[in-house]
Amino acid sequence: MLRLDHKTAIITGAGSGIGKAMALLFSRQGAMVFMLDRDEAGGNSTAAAIAEAGGKAVFYLCDVASQEAVRKRIDAVVLERNSLDILANIAGIAHIGNAENTDESDFDRLMQVNVKGVYNCIHAAIPHMKNKGGVIINMASVAASVGIADRFAYSTTKGAIAAMTRSVAKDFIQFSIRCNSISPGRVHTPFVDGFLARNYPGHEKEMFEKLSKTQPIGRMGIPEEIALLALYLCSDEASFITGCDYPIDGGFITLNS
């Protein structure tokens, strides 16, 4: 079960965190993985880890905010593989701030990556998937469903992703294209470590514990847990599922309401 043999998967943001965990897992389950990321060192590191484990992966340096760059990369994948079965839109950036103190430049930057980046990838992938169907996974967030302090721009982009997911699922269901989103709570990724180091130098451990306890389950998630949910949603076992968002948040949404 949950095998991806002979499937072609494109994963954005695979240089670290959740995207990396997904690339490793999807490869282990038999997929040929193509990774798009701006992080050249991280992308090459993920590709090397997959090769060391006996899997197959190709890393392409790509800024998802550029429609032309995305189109060229996705077209190249399909030309090589003659198929595109899975698109996982994981690349994204975060921002701390409210509606008053968020600068226009920061708001525009998040919209370019978190919203337009997902649109660019879907826009380029859909024509290829219409031939025989496919699966699209988008990375939303609990911030799309509940109010979180000082996450104005980030929450805005993730709300857009949740709506985009439903729209794509509705429009292309007749082509056997399924589209779902995942909404993680706090997940322990390199971003979290960097955020704590920048904003709480000398108090990283204390703040890590504080953030962990905001999840009712008492800890942050780990990237591999998110990857396992994505694997199921991309597998043939989930062929009856489309247009849905899946919180994976240690009870954050339901138990904090």
Comparing C-alpha atoms, which of 10, 61, 20 is closest to residue 37?
61
DSSP 8-state class, residue 195: H
- Tokens at residue 241, please? 């599922």
Q: How far apart are CA 39 and CA 37, in angstroms?
A: 5
Give the integer Cα–Cα distance in Å for 2 and 257. Answer: 33
SS3 content of the chain, % helix, strand, coil (to 5): 50, 15, 35
- In three-state secondary structure terms, 84 is coil
Check 154, 200, 232, 246 and give the catalytic one: 154
If we measure between CA atoms, which residue out of 81, 42, 82 comes closest to residue 60? 42
Structure tokens at 63: 């800024």
3-state secondary structure 20-75: HHHHHHHHHCCCEEEEEECCHHHHHHHHHHHHHCCCCEEEEECCCCCHHHHHHHHH
Residue 154 appears among annotated catalytic residues: yes
d(CA 253, CA 27) in angstroms, rounded, equals: 31
Q: Assign 10 to helix, strand or coil.
A: strand
Nearest-angstrom CA–CA distance, 182 and 157: 14
- Active-site annotation, residues: 154
